[in-house]
Amino acid sequence: MLIIPIQDKPDWSHPPLITLALIALNVFVFLFYQGNDAAKLELAQDIYHNYQLDDIERPYYREYLQEYHPENVAHWDSRHANGSPLTHAMFDVEYEHYLREVWVDRGQNIEDVNGWRDGRRAFERQRNTVSSLQAGLVPAEARPVSFITSMFLHGGWGHLLGNMVFLFLFGFTLERALGAWRYLLGYVVSGVAAGGLFVALNPSSEVPLVGASGAISGLMGMYLALYRLRKIRFFYSVLFYFGEFVAPALWVFPVWVAKELYGHFFVDSNTAYWAHIGGLVAGVFVMLAWPVSRREFASQEAHNDRAAHLTEQLQQVQALAANLEFNRARSRVRVLCEQHKTDPRPWRLQFNLYKNQPRDRVFHEVTFAALKQFVQTPGAGREWTTAADEIAQEYCALSPEAPALTAKLAQALAQRFLQLNKKDRAEVYAQWARQKMATTRRASASVPNEP
């Protein structure tokens, strides 16, 4: 079963640099560090065979299986009765501890026990240079640094590519919501917590834990806690059935946990399901610890929803205009200007709907209202600045006398553009204000006094 959110689309105007860096680091480690594992293993096998450890250890490995894994004895006999190499024994770390006891209790039965020990130690030194043993998280011998290094190792191309897809899927939203460093901290904390729970529940395991799955599960938990009870879209796939559904984000959390528990108890695989659960839970708590980030994200998402809804309404107005229903289009856009006073898009569209009638009084009123709104909008951004300047320039081109661009309004525009460090545009409107004031003075001087 697969359930993933499809609520967000990547915003490449603000690329997720930390997420892309994490992906690049994982790929780099896999190619240039883990890529040497095959050569390391081949050298380890050569050492094993050169010291003739196959012949010496064969009976002891069978005894080990009889004592600790009797269910595997028959299978082992069927494969190794003819004296084939003990490939599996070479990498069974639990078996090594059994060998230590053999050296003490029964080593005297071996003709050259010291040679055997030396050969075994030489083999283990070389074999332990393999990435999963050198940098993986082995619960029975957990080192603090391995909680971090294990997060950048993977068991194969499928493991790597699957994790990187999910890392990007959740990472680009969380990085935008939290900021780069809080996002990175949440990723690392989730990965460490995932490894911690796995070690706590498997303290004697000699099998190394590798992969970014725990940290990525943490991102999944952070994602759900970020949206909380807001309804978002999910894609699901169960066997041959797939589709979409909408649900409050946190409702999916118990489903994800249940899926991991089912995998742990009923699926025969080497997947570290407890690490996934640990990451999920840690991610939720990490996000709940940052309420400011959640509130900021919720506010931004509400703004984005309003902007998206306005975009849809503006498209409807444009469709009316395309069908030559100008009166309906103008009526609709007038309402949108009142409802979204600080957004330049409806004002720009309203100007466009009237500019084909430059002699109409309403055209001048619409232009004056748009430019006045720009001046009165605190913190007007680049989009508003560009729209206002374009409206003013087009207006002057269509109506050279520009009655709507009064001296007072031109002066206000000059001040606003100066505040925005647009000195060249500020000078244009300042010059226009001076011309308007001069024209007004000449008109006043030409009026005769009453007797």
* Res 447: pLDDT: 44
pTM of model > 0.85? no
Rounded mean pLDDT of 400-425? Answer: 87
What pLDDT, on a 0 to 100 scale, did the predictor assign at position 60? Answer: 82
Q: Is the pLDDT of residue 358 over 80?
A: yes
380 CB neighbour count, 10 Å cutoff: 19
What are residue 394's DSSP bridge partners?
Answer: none
pLDDT value of position 56? 80
Q: What is the pLDDT of residue 105?
A: 61
- CATH 1.25.40 for the 304-405 domain, yes or no: yes
| Interatomic CA distance for residues 304 and 307, integer angstroms | 5
Distance CA 250, CA 39 (A): 46
* Mean of pLDDT values over 409-431: 88
pLDDT category of residue 107 using cuts at 50, 70 and 90: low
- Provide the pLDDT confidence category of residue 35 given band limits of 50, 70 and 90: very high
Average pLDDT over residues 188-196: 96
Mean pLDDT for 141-157 is 93
More confident residue, 61 or 283: 283
**C-beta separation of 169 from 223 below 8 A:** no
Q: Name residues whose C-beta falls within 8 Å of residue 433's C-beta, 6 or more positions apart in sequence.
A: 407, 408, 410, 411, 414
CA-closest candidate to residue 280, choices 235, 227, 213: 213
Predicted pLDDT at 93: 77
What's the average model confidence in pLDDT over 66-79?
Answer: 82
Question: In this model, does residue 356 exceed pLDDT 70?
Answer: yes
Fold (topology level) of 2-14+145-289: Rhomboid-like fold (1.20.1540)
| pLDDT at residue 160 greater than cutoff 90 | yes
Model pLDDT, residue 443: 56
**Average pLDDT value for residue range 204-210:** 88
DSSP annotation of 233: E
Whole-number pLDDT of residue 84:
62
pLDDT over 70 (residue 280): yes
Identity at 51, one-letter amino acid code: Y
The gap from C-alpha 405 to its chain's centroid, in whole angstroms, comes to: 48
Please check the confidence at residue 450 and state whether its pLDDT lies above 50.
no
265-293 average pLDDT score: 87
Ranking 33-42, 260-269, 442-451 by mean pLDDT, the lowest is 442-451
pLDDT of residue 82: 62
Percent of the chain topping pLDDT 70: 93
Mean pLDDT value of segment 431-444: 76
| Poorest-pLDDT segment among 250-264, 290-304, 387-401 | 290-304
Top-ranked range on mean pLDDT: pick from 248-252, 272-276, 444-448: 272-276
Phi and psi, residue 414, nearest 5°: -60, -45
Q: How far is CA 195 from CA 149, 213, 439, in A?
A: 11, 10, 78
> In this structure, what is the dihedral angle of CA atoms 280, 283, 284, 289, given to the nearest 10 degrees?
160
* pLDDT single digits (tens) 88-100: 777 787 788 787 7
The tens digit of pLDDT for each residue in 282-319 reads 999 998 888 767 777 777 777 777 888 888 999 999 99
pLDDT of 37:
93
Mean of the per-residue pLDDT values of the chain: 86
Opening angle at CA 269, ends 266 and 272, nearest 5:
95
Residue carrying the six token digits 């011309």: 435
DSSP 211: S
Region 6-33: what's the mean pLDDT?
Answer: 89
What is the band of 240 on the pLDDT scale with cuts at 50, 70, 90? Answer: confident
The residues spanned by each domain of the chain are 2-14+145-289, 34-135, 304-405
- In the DSSP assignment, the letter for residue 209 is B
Q: What pLDDT is stored for residue 59 in this prediction?
A: 80
Check whether 448 has a pLDDT greater than 60.
Answer: no
Q: What is the pLDDT of residue 451?
A: 39
> Please, which pLDDT band fits residue 168 given cuts at 50, 70 and 90?
very high
pLDDT confidence of residue 369: 92
